[in-house]
Structure 1
Amino acid sequence: MADWIYEDRPQLQLHIASFQDATFVTLTWLHTLFDALGRNALLRAWTMMIDGREDEVPEFYGYDFDPLASLGSPESAKLEEKPEKSVLEGRELSTWQLIRFGFSMMWEFFIYREEDQRGICIPQSLFVKLRQAALEDLASAPPDTVTMDSRDPAHPTPFLSDGDILAAWWMRLIVKSQPWSSTAPPTKTIQVQNIFGLRELLTTTEPKLLPKGVAYVSNAANAIHTFYSLQEVLELPLGYLAARIRKDLVIQGTRGQISAKERVSQHTLEKTGQHPLYGTGDMMLVTFSNWTKGKMYETDFRAAVVQEGGAKHEVGKPSYVHSNGVSETFPLRNAGCAVGKDLEGNYWVGGSARMGIWESIERAVKREAGRM
């Protein structure tokens, strides 16, 4: 961190390479600068400027103070009528469990040092079938795991978002592709950390920390935690797995639960110097982030086009978006990201896995596509 603070190095870098028929635009940034939706706020403001719509650029909010400083603070609890207890309390790893989890990760990285980051396309035709199959699974799922869509109170229906299905699909794919998946204890814990954006929640619930219509580019995200056993991941239908992700998002994604979790996190940080980690010492941790709401493929650079190159896709909008993360502290292995849906309706998912796993993932996707 000191290198970035005290040296003349930017937190954000832009590199553009133009050709006769295409242009590569590369953004490189530190996560200390902004998260995925913060980056999209920057892209929207940038395209408005080059299109001459400077008056539409939203206010840059929070650059000189931290609007989220009070989230989860003891003072904020006093403002709540009845402060909630986090549903995750009691699931924090003990010191011994942390040692076990840390040793397992160190062993993994010592034996399998190299990892690979790639992107994968889920064609619209395949995802439609995945979604249909997942919703059909809910007909036999335990009722207490199914979230109902009550927008039509007279006819509520089981609900899964595309993000729920993508997160469950990626988690199952990455777990099944591990060489140990057939020999590990069936009780081994698999945890999905589903990244949850807080902007809408902090704009619409009290106390409101972010006003409507502003651009808050810094980090405003948390994680929703879902736990399975290895046996469940290997045997349960996709819809069952996705339903549990949705149910946990509904339960853990309220303002009361986010505030309660932040209070636990701040207390643990002050006490131990570390944020709490939830789960068990033997768990495999899978992280998934859905950027689809950012509508990356709808970023419109048409005003910057000086000559059309005859491309088949919509001029000025991306034909491909690639995400690549680098971390020297917390490992990105087994982390996945839904970069977004392109203009043809195909989903693009990127991820990081140890070397050799992607070949297994590719074979699994081909088998799945063949069955459907």
Structure 2
Amino acid sequence: MNGSLPFGHVFGVPLRMHWSVPVLAVLLGYGLGRQTLPAWTPGQSAAVYTAASAVGAVLLMASVLLHEVAHAAMARRKNLSVQDVTLWAMGGMTRMGRPKTAPVALEVAASGPLTSLALGGAALGAGIGVRVVTGWGVIAAVLVWLGWANIFLGLFNLLPAVPLDGGRVVQALLWWRTGDRDRAERAADRSGQVIGMLLMAVGWVAFLRGAPGGLWLTLVGFFITMTAGAERQRSRLHAALRGLRVTEAMSSPVTTGADWLTVERFIDEVAVHAHHSALPLLDFDGRPSGIVTMRQLAAVPGLRRESVRVREVATPLPQCTVAAPNDLLDDTLDRLRPGSGMRILVLGDGRLEGIVTTHDISRLVQQHTLDSKALR
């Protein structure tokens, strides 16, 4: 996700945080310190409320992280690849490979909400215990707030709307019952779009009636609607590409260029003769070292093009999506790296064999559409 930065690893999975997370933490902390805690435990100093609200907001963000880590841990346990976990204002997102069976899909989807509900119950129980032992203090109030927040997070995520976990659960159950993955995905995607629009309507009415939280609900509904629509398109794409190998989509031969050339020489000798907007680079040994786009080349100021090497502005190989010729195409698309676009370098024994671009994928989808119509 654009605007996110790495901040660690867990179980070998990279963790990323979007810039909206600190903003959300500040807003949550402000509401907790200025409204909830003074109402529940009046008479404390501003410093106590501020410190307690900061701790509460951080613990809630940690709870959201644990929710996503539960997905990642279950996926790894089921031998699914996990690319990364990203926290952002709407919660979190775990990028992973597609489950091969309905039971695996169900376990992975349910692990997050169950973790949130367990955390909520534990925090709520701890808050009640602290209250019984020491009285209704700030610590107890923060724990009770954290408990209810996690319970709400778990229950809200169980709404039957893709991309929420509840939508994934419904999808897995329909797949399990019917044996038809495509049908289950279409049903879950439609459910997500319907529920997203309902949330938008309810949130907007609430906002017009003076409830500021309604605006947030409208934004959440809009996100669900848009994401469910994107998931529907993604499901159609996977259906069209199912069973195809990378070699069936790749363009080969493909124009390449030496990564030690200056930007000016590369443009004059390679880029102006190319048929793709993204060009693989080769090192001195003829092995792929990365990929450069026309946009990256154009971004280099004219006066610097004589001195800057093309490899200095290119995307290095470790940040590119790579695949072997016999890899399944739909599995490879699931592994697209953030910000790399739909560009896949096809390597065999460390040598470049071709490239897969958006144009190549579009061609296959159009051929699938023609074949489907011919069978009718």
TM-score after normalising by structure 1:
0.24
Q: Could you say which structure has the higher helix fraction?
A: 2
TM-score after normalising by structure 2:
0.24
